[in-house]
């Protein structure tokens, strides 16, 4: 039987992210179909990259909004709001290798160019509205959920059902782009989650806690294609596990590779990268394959054609599926090391990309691994595992056998360059930052203080944290700033930080914004806080009434956050 995560930590984090007692998901508006005589149809499917650390990751979608402006905040006018007739509960870990969940279909929208979509999830600890209930697990086994959004995992052989939370759920998860609706046309979108990257562990051990820190992407299915292949399954029986396959292409400035799609393998070693942007005349990608306790493989120049699907993909290393499929050879090599930051990142909502570069003229770094930092500590909740082995590199050969050659990366064996990033902060890349030795553990990554992107303003959000009276002796807590569902920064307001939870006082964030001369569209931030007294969580738990900061045209000050005692 699975254990439901419980205890004081679970109780107080309920209020930190859900805050469903104070306000409900979706902003309280149901919306509906447009009455316009000229309209098109929008269908939204969900897809995912691999969630290799988890048995299941469930989300429950209840509402979707559309807006023609990328500058509108979630609380402003002009949204077309669609409350789903039945909530849709999806296990994201099943949406790999070209599998799509057609969560939202046949929405009629007026003609136009839409620039925002907001996806709303049910409150995590609210009354269960999962549909169907119980949903089917990965093998079709019924699963009785404890939460509307949930992570199921194993810890030391024990199964746990942990709540999955998102900051400011009533503002939704933002997705920006250009979505053209034509008269009588059908726009088919796939919204891309990335469980392995964006489900962030904040507390380890026997009471695991998770937040969803989504950086949603999307694909126009009418402009997508598919690439497929297979690895030699003998590497799995040798001990390799947690395989990740990434389709990468050069960044706009040509200085590093960026990931366009990620997947993992099926039990037989096969994989499919779909949907993958194909462009009008097709594109080429370099495919990076890695796993735990295996050496990395990079296959260059793999083409993808618009209109190809998992049923008729570009094949890597084989002319056809079946027993005669030529497998990509990967080498078992259990010579990993682990690494962590030596101190907290600023902002704490940052993430790190780990790169290696093939030798040779014109070669640029490939992303090998990625991880968000814990937004509370500014470091990884668990150290990241990195390979010391060589890279096996080869070039696509029209579906025939690929000759792979072992090469030492430019950064040396066990060496990595690291990019430090945060939303609308300047990317900092340090090549050859460190070299690790097999079976060693390090915490030597130097934390960075990132600067707001050039052209944006470093705006101030400030106010006072007002604690309950009489003083409850609060000595632990955080003030958080989030944007479109993504935590950007956090202030430790406990006795080990600013001490604000004890008696209140001024707080301040420096966040990306605009100015009166150069406004920044959509620069809204949700502010919230939670505090408690160590050892007396149940009797002292307090949360702050959420506020919205508007940094589109400059600073937003005097945003006081009033703490409320939640538990008597």
Q: Which domains does the chain have, with CATH numbers?
A: 3-215 (no CATH), 226-435 (no CATH), 457-565 (2.60.40)
**Banded model confidence at residue 384, pLDDT cuts 50, 70, 90:** very high
**Banded model confidence at residue 119, pLDDT cuts 50, 70, 90:** very high
- Residue 141 has a pLDDT of 63
pLDDT at residue 321 greater than cutoff 60: no
Q: Which residues contact 224 (CB under 8 A, 6 or more apart)?
A: 190, 274, 275, 276, 277, 278, 306
- Residue 350 has a pLDDT of 96
Which of 30-39, 101-110, 264-273 is predicted with the least confidence, judged by mean pLDDT? Answer: 30-39
- Residue 538 has a pLDDT of 64
Which value, in Å, is the radius of gyration of the alpha carbons in the chain?
24
**pLDDT digit string, tens, across residues 255-283:** 999 999 999 999 889 999 999 999 888 89
Q: 287 with 304: CB under 8 angstroms?
A: no
Which token pair is 64? 């979707």
pLDDT at residue 288 greater than cutoff 80: yes
Q: 212 with 119: CB under 8 angstroms?
A: no
- Residue 327 has a pLDDT of 79
- Residue 489 is given by DSSP the state E
Q: What's the rounded mean pLDDT across residues 441-456?
A: 98
Mean residue pLDDT of the chain comes to 86
State the number of CA atoms in the 13 A half-sphere of 490 facing the CB.
26
Report helix, strand or coil for 170.
helix
**pLDDT digit string, tens, across residues 467-491:** 877 767 889 889 999 998 889 999 9
- Residue 210 has a pLDDT of 85
DSSP string, 527-557: EEEEEE-TT-HHHH-EEEPPEEEE-SSS-B-
DSSP H helical ranges for 18-131? none
Report helix, strand or coil for 200.
strand
Q: 349 with 486: CB under 8 angstroms?
A: yes
Q: Length of the chain, please?
A: 568
Number of Cβ atoms within 10 Å of the Cβ of 492: 20
Measured distance CA(485)–CA(28) in Å, rounded: 17
- Residue 1 has a pLDDT of 45
pLDDT at residue 30 greater than cutoff 70: no
**Banded model confidence at residue 6, pLDDT cuts 50, 70, 90:** very low
Identify which of 14-18, 155-159, 287-291, 394-398 has the greatest average pLDDT.
Answer: 287-291
- Residue 156 has a pLDDT of 82
Measured distance CA(402)–CA(400) in Å, rounded: 6
pLDDT at residue 383 greater than cutoff 60: yes
Percent residues over pLDDT 90 in the chain: 55
pLDDT at residue 9 greater than cutoff 60: no
Q: Is the pTM of this model over 0.85?
A: yes
Check residue 16 and give left, alpha or beta (phi > 0: left; psi -120 to 50: alpha).
Answer: alpha
pLDDT at residue 322 greater than cutoff 90: no
Which token pair is 57? 């990751």
More confident site: 466 or 13: 466
pLDDT at residue 244 greater than cutoff 90: yes
Q: Which helix (H) or strand (E) holds 234?
A: helix 234-238
Q: Which helix (H) or strand (E) holds 2?
A: none
**pLDDT digit string, tens, across residues 497-509:** 999 999 899 999 9
Peptide bond into 347 cis (omega under 30): yes
**pLDDT digit string, tens, across residues 183-213:** 988 899 988 888 877 888 876 666 777 888 8
């Amino acid at each position: 039987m699975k254990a439901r995560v419980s205890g004081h930590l679970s109780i107080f984090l309920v209020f930190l992210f859900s805050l469903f007692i104070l306000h409900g998901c979706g902003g309280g508006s149901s919306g509906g179909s447009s009455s316009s005589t000229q309209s098109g149809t929008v269908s939204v499917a969900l897809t995912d990259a691999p969630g290799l650390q988890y048995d299941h990751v469930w989300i429950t979608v209840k509402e979707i909004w559309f807006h023609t402006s990328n500058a509108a905040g979630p609380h402003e006018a002009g949204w077309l709001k669609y409350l789903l007739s039945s909530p849709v509960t999806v296990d994201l870990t099943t949406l790999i290798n070209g599998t799509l969940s057609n969560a939202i279909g046949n929405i009629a929208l007026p003609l136009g160019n839409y620039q925002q979509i907001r996806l709303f999830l049910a409150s995590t600890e609210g009354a269960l509205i999962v549909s169907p209930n119980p949903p089917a697990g990965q093998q079709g086994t019924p699963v009785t959920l404890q939460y509307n959004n949930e992570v199921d995992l194993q810890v030391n052989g024990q199964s746990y059902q942990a709540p999955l939370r998102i900051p400011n759920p009533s503002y939704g998860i933002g997705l920006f782009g250009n979505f053209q609706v034509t008269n009588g046309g059908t726009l088919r979108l796939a919204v891309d989650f990335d469980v392995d990257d964006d489900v962030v562990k904040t507390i380890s051990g026997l009471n695991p806690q998770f937040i969803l820190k989504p950086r949603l992407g999307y694909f126009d299915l009418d402009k997508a294609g598919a690439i497929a292949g297979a690895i030699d399954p003998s590497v799995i029986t040798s001990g390799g596990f947690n395989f990740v396959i990434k389709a990468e292409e050069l960044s706009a400035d040509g200085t590093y590779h960026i990931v366009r799609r990620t997947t993992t393998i099926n039990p037989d070693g096969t994989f499919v990268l779909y949907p993958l942007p194909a462009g009008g005349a097709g594109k080429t990608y370099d495919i990076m394959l890695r796993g735990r306790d295996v050496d990395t493989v990079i296959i260059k120049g793999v083409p993808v054609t618009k209109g190809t699907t998992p049923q008729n993909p570009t094949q890597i290393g084989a002319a056809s599926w079946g027993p005669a499929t030529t497998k990509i050879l990967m080498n078992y090599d259990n010579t990993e090391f682990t690494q962590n930051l030596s101190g907290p990142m600023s902002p704490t909502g940052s993430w790190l990309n780990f790169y290696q570069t093939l030798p040779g003229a014109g070669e640029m770094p490939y992303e090998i691994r990625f991880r968000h930092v814990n937004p509370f500590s500014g470091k990884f909740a668990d150290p990241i595992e990195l390979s010391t082995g060589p890279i096996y590199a080869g070039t696509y050969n029209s579906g025939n056998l690929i000759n792979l050659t072992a090469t030492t990366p430019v950064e040396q064996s066990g060496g990595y360059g690291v990019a430090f990033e945060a939303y609308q902060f300047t990317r900092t890349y340090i090549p050859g930052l460190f070299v690790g030795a097999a079976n060693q553990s390090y915490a030597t990554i130097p934390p960075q203080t990132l600067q707001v992107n050039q052209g944006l303003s470093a705006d101030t959000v400030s106010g006072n944290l007002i604690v309950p009276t009489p003083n409850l002796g609060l000595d632990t807590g955080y003030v958080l700033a989030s944007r479109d569902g993504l935590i950007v920064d956090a202030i430790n307001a406990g006795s080990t930080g600013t001490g604000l939870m004890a008696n209140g006082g001024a707080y301040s964030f420096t966040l990306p914004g605009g100015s009166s001369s150069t406004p920044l569209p959509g620069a809204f931030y949700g502010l919230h806080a939670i505090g408690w007294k160590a050892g007396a969580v149940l009797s002292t738990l307090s949360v702050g009434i959420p506020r919205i900061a508007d940094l589109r045209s400059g600073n937003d000050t005097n945003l006081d956050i009033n703490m409320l005692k939640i538990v008597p």
